[in-house]
DNA sequence: CGCTTAATTGAGAGCCTTCAATCATCGTGG
DNA sequence: CCACGATGATTGAAGGCTCTCAATTAAGCG
């Protein structure tokens, strides 16, 4: 049964737990599974915070600033845990970019159980700050960077998440539209398109169809993104997945690794 | 001794712990106290994530995007816990806005200990998501809002933090400069000044000297900030302090409460 | 193959920034 | 207590970057 395997993905890949253990059983009682098709909204209760585990697929978390302004706050892929606030200043929606399976939890009860177990607590204390730091990086981009810098940063961040390295280049198969990209980095679709053209004209990327982009020169993209040169000393690389890992503008750019642990 | 009282503030107000308890003792061994004067940088080791408890005073956490671009990611006041990332895409600095006392911890070890105690785990699972959600609200403002909206949102957020209600108006005694405000909401000091003038001309605020601002019409400011009208149903108000509570653009605007628990 | 939707491209407008000068504030020293 | 100087804030004018509006082109699907 799909729900069963989804739940096992959750306990094991997210927390390294056996599904049958105590908190595993407690979590299972809280979990609401959902299978979404491309474009579908996750059913959320706006009255309280929620935690959503994305088992398979890809999603966007969007805040609605007004009728016609939305800010995509993070993209998520399989293995991510999303923290979704209750309706506050803005209302948030989680939308599937492709067919997606997920598990929803009410945050309060989830944390109540999680706090009783050292391993889950510790795992959350890894993921939550990481999500926060990614959100900060995004805020820096939105607050300080030009259109070109944001787009280059976005592409580099995506290369970390969904990039496939083929020889010297990284191939991206983006599940999101230009509008989604624009809503994520605070630009209009036209500006996204123009800056994409600029990067293409510069020879840094190549495009193919609507969703395939090849990154031809990562170092040039790093410069375009306005990132300082790589730090001289080797900072420890934590390869693990994270809450909201994909906060759009974020790229560590180590030697391109295969990825996911 | 100052350090002793600072530490008690930490254990008690942040976590509701007695200083002598097991984790209390463990935390104490990790803690590095510091007393900063206005303008001084907190001594931070950029090689690993840190957690800083602001016991007294006010600080700004800034990311340095380049030589002359910095984004203030959050302001903090007494009782706040700040999560500071190791150097990644950007380097971060924590600066005292006024004379400030704080306690620094290496994040990893702190979390290792915290995870072993249910109450501290649970407290962090309140604070961390809250900080994340505030950062998201900030990202929305930076990505989608106009200068006027951002400034109005900033003032409303500050009213929640340092506002003193006097009859119908809220008085702000801002500890940060115009530059800090601009760096926080992604504008230049000139634009901040101009929009402040616009709000003054509209009669929504009044200014006095460099740092005192009176909010004369909260509802008008809410409109100026581009916030939707208050939600119809009463969502539960959690009055507790939070990690990075002051993520600049954020305002819940309940009945103006005296504040701090 | 044709249609619908998404993406690209162009021209003009608007908002914020940049550059520059003036003014105000506040701390300091007389 | 006041005058002064330094720093911060305000105000003005010009320019640039991104948005808006519009038209065209391309992509993907039936």
pLDDT band with cut points at 50, 70 and 90 for residue A3: confident
B180, containing H or E segment: helix B178-185
Residues A17 and A77 in one domain: yes
Residues A219 and A177 in one domain: yes
Q: Note whether residue A121 is domain-resident.
A: no
pLDDT band with cut points at 50, 70 and 90 for residue A245: very low
Mean pLDDT of B46-70: 95
Higher-confidence position of A233 and A139: A139
Question: Residue B48: what pLDDT?
Answer: 96
pLDDT tens for A107-159 read 999 999 999 999 999 999 999 999 999 999 999 999 999 999 999 999 999 99
Residues A44 and A110 in one domain: yes
Nucleotide nearest to B143 (CA to C1'): D18
Q: List chain A residues with CB under 8 Å of B243.
A: 132
What rounded mean pLDDT belongs to chain A? 88
Q: Note whether residue B121 is domain-resident.
A: no
DSSP state of B22: H
pLDDT tens for B111-169 read 999 999 999 999 999 999 999 999 999 999 999 999 999 999 999 999 999 999 999 99
Q: Lowest-confidence range among A59-63, B14-18, B80-84?
A: B14-18
Q: Note whether residue B35 is domain-resident.
A: yes
Nucleotide nearest to B197 (CA to C1'): D10
Residues A108 and A214 in one domain: no
The yes-or-no verdict on residue B101 having pLDDT over 80 is yes
Q: Which of residues B94, B116, B138 is at a domain's end?
A: B116
pLDDT tens for A80-102 read 999 999 999 999 999 999 999 99
- Provide the shortest C-alpha distance from residue B91 to chain A (in Å): 10
The yes-or-no verdict on residue A253 having pLDDT over 50 is no
What rounded mean pLDDT belongs to chain B? 88
pLDDT tens for B165-224 read 999 999 999 999 999 999 999 999 999 999 999 999 999 999 999 999 999 999 999 999
Question: For residues A6 and A57, is the Cβ–Cβ distance under 8 A?
Answer: no
Question: Residue B180: what pLDDT?
Answer: 98
| Contact assignment for B87 to A231 by CB distance below 8 Å | yes
Q: Note whether residue B221 is domain-resident.
A: yes
Beta strands of chain A (E only): which ranges? Answer: 32-36, 50-56, 58-66, 69-77, 81-84, 91-96, 100-106, 164-166, 169-173, 205-208, 212-215
The yes-or-no verdict on residue A61 having pLDDT over 70 is yes
CA-based nearest residue in chain B for residue A84? B133
pLDDT tens for A165-220 read 999 999 999 999 999 999 999 999 999 999 999 999 999 999 999 999 999 999 99
Q: Which of residues A96, A116, A136 is at a domain's end?
A: A116
Total domains present in chain B: 2
Looking up tokens 């630009």 gives A187
Q: List chain A residues with CB under 8 Å of B122.
A: 111-112, 115
Nearby residues of B154 by Cβ (< 8 Å), 6 or more positions away: B181, B184, B185, B248, B249
CA dihedral A237, A176, B64, B66 (to 10 degrees): 110
Question: Residue A5: what pLDDT?
Answer: 87
Return the number of other C-beta atoms located less than 10 Å from residue B30's C-beta.
Answer: 15
A199 CA, D26 C1': Å apart: 19
Q: Is the CB of residue B190 inside 7 Å of nucleic acid strand C?
A: yes
Residue B41's φ and ψ, nearest 5 degrees, are -90, 140
Return the number of other C-beta atoms located less than 10 Å from residue A188's C-beta.
Answer: 13
Considering only CB atoms, B128 lies closest to which of A48, A86, A132, namely A132
Question: Residue A229: what pLDDT?
Answer: 61
Q: Note whether residue B137 is domain-resident.
A: no
Q: Lowest-confidence range among A50-59, A91-100, A239-248?
A: A239-248
Q: Among B164, B8, B135, which residue's Cα sits nearest to residue B76?
A: B135
Residues B111 and B11 in one domain: yes
Question: For residues B90 and B64, is the Cβ–Cβ distance under 8 A?
Answer: yes
Percent of chain A with pLDDT over 70: 86
Q: What CATH number does the domain containing B187 carry?
A: 1.10.10.10
Question: Residue B250: what pLDDT?
Answer: 38
Q: Among A186, A157, A20, A103, which residue's Cα sits nearest to residue B88?
A: A157
Residues A105 and A202 in one domain: no
pLDDT band with cut points at 50, 70 and 90 for residue B230: low
Residues B70 and B152 in one domain: no
Question: For residues B35 and B94, is the Cβ–Cβ distance under 8 A?
Answer: no
Question: Residue B4: what pLDDT?
Answer: 83
Residues B27 and B72 in one domain: yes
Q: Which strands make up the sheet holding B81-84, listed edge to edge?
A: B32-36, B100-106, B50-56, B81-84
Distance in angstroms (rounded) separating the CA atoms of residues A131 and A82 = 9
- Show the tokens assigned to A114: 């999680």
Residues B187 and B81 in one domain: no
The yes-or-no verdict on residue B30 having pLDDT over 50 is yes
**Which residues numbered 1-40 in A keep a CB inside 8 Å of some CB on B?**
none
Looking up tokens 């929640």 gives B160
Residues B150 and B258 in one domain: yes
Nearby residues of A229 by Cβ (< 8 Å), 6 or more positions away: none
pLDDT band with cut points at 50, 70 and 90 for residue A18: confident
Q: Among A132, A149, A148, which residue's Cα sits nearest to residue A245?
A: A132
Q: Is A128 on the interface with B (CB under 8 A)?
A: yes
Which residue range forms the structural domain that includes residue A260?
Answer: 146-261
Distance in angstroms (rounded) separating the CA atoms of residues B203 and B214 = 10
Q: Note whether residue B133 is domain-resident.
A: no
Residues A172 and A103 in one domain: no
Q: What CATH number does the domain containing A15 carry?
A: 2.60.120.10
Q: Is the CB of residue A191 inside 7 Å of nucleic acid strand D?
A: yes
Q: Is A107 on the interface with B (CB under 8 A)?
A: yes
Question: Residue A260: what pLDDT?
Answer: 26
Q: Which of residues B97, B116, B135 is at a domain's end?
A: B116
Q: Note whether residue B130 is domain-resident.
A: no
Question: Residue A169: what pLDDT?
Answer: 96
Q: Note whether residue A172 is domain-resident.
A: yes
Residues A83 and A24 in one domain: yes
Q: Lowest-confidence range among A14-18, A190-194, A203-207, A236-240?
A: A236-240
């Amino acid at each position: 049964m799909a729900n069963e395997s989804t739940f096992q993905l959750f306990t094991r890949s997210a927390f390294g737990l056996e599904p049958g253990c105590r908190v595993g059983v407690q979590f299972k009682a809280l979990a609401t599974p959902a299978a979404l098709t491309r474009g579908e909204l996750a059913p959320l209760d706006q009255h309280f915070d929620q935690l959503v585990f994305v088992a398979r697929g890809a999603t966007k978390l969007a805040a609605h600033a007004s009728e016609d302004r939305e800010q995509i706050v993070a993209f998520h892929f399989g293995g991510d845990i999303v923290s979704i606030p209750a309706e506050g200043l803005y209302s948030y929606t989680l939308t599937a970019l492709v067919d997606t399976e997920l598990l929803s939890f009410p945050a309060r009860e989830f944390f109540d159980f999680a706090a009783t177990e050292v391993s889950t607590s510790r795992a959350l204390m890894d993921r939550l700050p990481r999500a926060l730091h990614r959100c900060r990086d995004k805020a820096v981009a939105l607050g300080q960077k030009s259109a070109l810098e944001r787009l280059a940063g976005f592409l580099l961040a995506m290369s970390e998440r969904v990039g496939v390295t083929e020889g010297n280049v990284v191939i991206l198969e983006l599940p999101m539209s230009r509008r989604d990209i624009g809503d994520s980095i605070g630009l209009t679709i036209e500006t996204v398109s123009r800056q994409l053209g600029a990067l293409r004209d510069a020879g840094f990327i190549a495009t193919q169809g609507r969703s395939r982009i090849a990154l031809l020169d990562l170092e040039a993209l790093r410069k375009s993104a306005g990132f300082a040169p790589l730090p001289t000393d080797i900072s420890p690389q934590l390869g693990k997945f994270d809450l909201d890992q994909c906060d759009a503008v974020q790229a560590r750019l180590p030697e391109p690794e295969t990825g996911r642990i």
